[in-house]
């Protein structure tokens, strides 16, 4: 007899009702992270090195890199963060994520020489130690010069309030760059880790930090009705400023969003 598919992997039960939903379609219970799956995961962590190593990545996090590389954020660190930090980890989508072509890979100090390091994004981010800043890979300097996370919009030579920094006639979009990178490389990995750590351990600290971040993401998520102005290409009339045929995307690009949204949905199930 052919092996039967795992019915619990599908959201619609045999009688046509949505699994795990309560009044108004709200989630009443996990549908993917079933008791059976969680029991198996706990057993694997006890018995197998590969599972222990994977769970360690959930707790300690992967290194941040551009763009979809990191799978897990440091759940143990986030469990100790205050609510405000978790809420602010996902920037408002009122900050754009797309740069005009002439502003891509351009540094106010090093100019376009940074393209020899990376022609798309010669910047790195460290949202834990330097929230709302990007670091030039060539000189190691951080932008913008103001402390946006602390509500400071104007300090220093290179301020950016989310609308870009005009310097010597050229616009630099430090916070757009940050908002783009942090979503895929930090926010989604954080949600994945916190939801899985919560399922595996039952420790409510993971659940709390994850739920706050997920609520923030939901409150900032764009749509095509009353939140068109927050879509990926919103600042450019819904189309890429470089390739007019290219539309779509939500917080990030139309391709990357498919990976990110999947991560958010599993996190919703686990939190
Ligand atoms: Zn630089």
pLDDT truncated to tens, each residue of the chain (271 aa)?
Answer: 455 555 555 556 666 666 677 777 778 889 999 999 999 999 999 999 999 999 999 999 999 887 778 999 999 999 999 999 999 999 999 999 999 999 999 999 999 999 999 999 999 999 999 999 999 999 999 999 999 999 999 999 999 999 999 999 999 999 999 999 999 999 999 999 999 999 999 999 999 999 999 999 999 999 999 999 999 999 999 999 999 999 999 999 999 999 999 999 999 999 9
Q: Are residues 168 and 55 in the same domain?
A: no
Distance of CA 119 to CAs 83, 203, 254, Å? 36, 43, 21
The answer to whether residue 259 is domain-embedded is yes
Q: Are residues 35 and 69 in the same domain?
A: no
Q: List the domain range (segments joined by +) for residue 197.
A: 42-91+179-270
Helix, coil or strand: residue 23: helix
Q: How many domains does the chain have?
A: 3
The answer to whether residue 4 is domain-embedded is no
The answer to whether residue 133 is domain-embedded is yes
246 Cα–ligand 1 center, Å: 30
83 Cα–ligand 1 center, Å: 33
Contact 133, 142 (CB under 8 A): yes
111 Cα–ligand 1 center, Å: 7
- pTM for this entry: 0.92
Radius of gyration of the chain from Cα atoms?
Answer: 20
The answer to whether residue 5 is domain-embedded is no
Contact 163, 92 (CB under 8 A): no
135 Cα–ligand 1 center, Å: 8
The answer to whether residue 197 is domain-embedded is yes
Of the residues 152, 177, 202, which one is the last residue of a structural domain?
A: 177
15 Cα–ligand 1 center, Å: 60
From first CA to last CA, the distance across the chain in angstroms is 37
226 Cα–ligand 1 center, Å: 38
174 Cα–ligand 1 center, Å: 12
65 Cα–ligand 1 center, Å: 18
């Amino acid at each position: 007899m052919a092996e039967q598919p795992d019915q619990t992997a599908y959201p619609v039960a045999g009688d046509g009702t949505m699994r795990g939903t309560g009044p108004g379609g709200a989630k009443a219970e996990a549908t993917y992270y079933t008791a059976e799956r969680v029991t198996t995961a706990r057993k694997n962590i006890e018995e197998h090195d590969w599972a222990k190593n994977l769970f360690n990545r959930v707790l300690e996090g992967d290194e941040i890199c551009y763009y979809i590389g990191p799978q897990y954020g440091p759940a143990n660190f986030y469990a100790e963060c205050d609510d405000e930090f978790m809420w602010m980890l996902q920037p408002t989508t009122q900050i754009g994520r797309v740069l005009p072509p002439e502003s891509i890979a351009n540094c106010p100090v090093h100019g376009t020489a940074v393209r020899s390091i990376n022609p798309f994004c010669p910047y790195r981010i460290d949202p834990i130690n330097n929230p709302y800043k990007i670091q030039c890979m060539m000189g190691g300097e951080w932008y913008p010069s103001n402390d946006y996370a602390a509500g400071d919009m104007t300090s220093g030579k290179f301020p950016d309030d989310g609308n870009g920094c005009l310097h010597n006639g050229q616009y630099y979009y430090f916070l757009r760059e940050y908002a783009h990178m942090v979503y895929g490389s930090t926010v989604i990995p954080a949600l994945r880790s916190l939801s899985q750590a919560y399922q595996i351990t039952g420790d409510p600290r993971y659940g709390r930090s994850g739920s706050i971040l997920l609520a923030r993401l939901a409150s900032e998520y764009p749509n095509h009705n009353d939140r068109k102005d927050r879509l990926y290409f919103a600042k450019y009339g819904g189309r890429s400023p470089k390739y007019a045929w290219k539309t779509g995307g939500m917080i990030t690009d139309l391709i990357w969003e498919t990976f990110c949204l999947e991560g958010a949905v599993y996190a919703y199930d686990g939190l």
